[in-house]
Amino acid sequence: MISRPLFTGTFFGHASHLQYARVLNWDFVLTLRLKFALANTQDSVKSNWLLYSGQKGEGYRGSDYIALGIEENFLKLQFDLGTGAAILRSPEPLNLSLPYHSVQLGRHKQEGWIQVDNQVNVSANTQGHLIGLNTYRDLFIGGLNEGEDAFLPDNLSFQNGFQGCIYDVEVKASQYDEFSLLGADLVM
């Protein structure tokens, strides 16, 4: 069992990543925790994916998505329920002297929040009246599968796969559930 996968970024258009089946029942409530350690390179904090699930509007399916990444040394969370994105950014840059970083993020209907390390919690709401996150594609950790960028909404700006380790990814899709490690049998 691999407990701390190492992601090497993007080379020749291919990003190392993990791909999980879509998390069921995270439409209205989601809490996610993870830890990551950055590679010792300047590129590891420029524009890198941590996680993504969603799609560009296709037929009756709207541009619902959730995305987490690093942009210019800040953590950035974006999610859209189909009527306009909420964009949250950590209040401070990542402290690069720390050996690893802890992130907790969540959403309840239109409201989302993120907390990084010991920084202040940041929250924001999506635009419009929709309240459900309807993603029909898999959950990607660390980067995207080849060709997946064709399904990305236009307003996402992360460019490269993550560089470093992402581990202890836990998901809770109800305020009453316990956290489950991603990849374990999620019964929700």
Cβ pair 143, 163 in contact under 8 A: no
Which pTM value belongs to this model? 0.91
CB atoms within 10 A of CB 90: 22
pLDDT digits 0-9 by tens, 80-135 = 998 899 999 999 999 999 999 999 999 999 999 999 999 999 999 999 899 999 88
Distance CA 119, CA 106 (A): 15
Cβ pair 86, 97 in contact under 8 A: no
Q: What is the pLDDT of residue 150?
A: 78
Cβ pair 30, 135 in contact under 8 A: no
- Give the fold, CATH level 3, of 6-176: Jelly Rolls (2.60.120)
Longest dimension (CA), the chain: 46
Residue with tokens 């836990």: 170
Distance CA 135, CA 56 (A): 10
- Local structure of 43: helix, strand or coil: helix
Cβ pair 166, 102 in contact under 8 A: no
CB atoms within 10 A of CB 169: 23
**Among 63, 69, 74, CA closest to 34:** 69
Residue spans per domain, the chain: 6-176
Distance CA 68, CA 51 (A): 5
Distance CA 154, CA 159 (A): 12
**Local confidence pLDDT in tens for the 188 residues of the chain:** 567 888 988 877 788 999 988 777 889 999 999 999 999 988 899 999 999 999 877 656 678 999 999 999 999 999 999 889 999 999 999 999 999 999 999 999 999 999 999 999 999 999 989 999 988 889 999 999 888 887 788 888 899 999 999 999 999 988 888 898 886 654 33
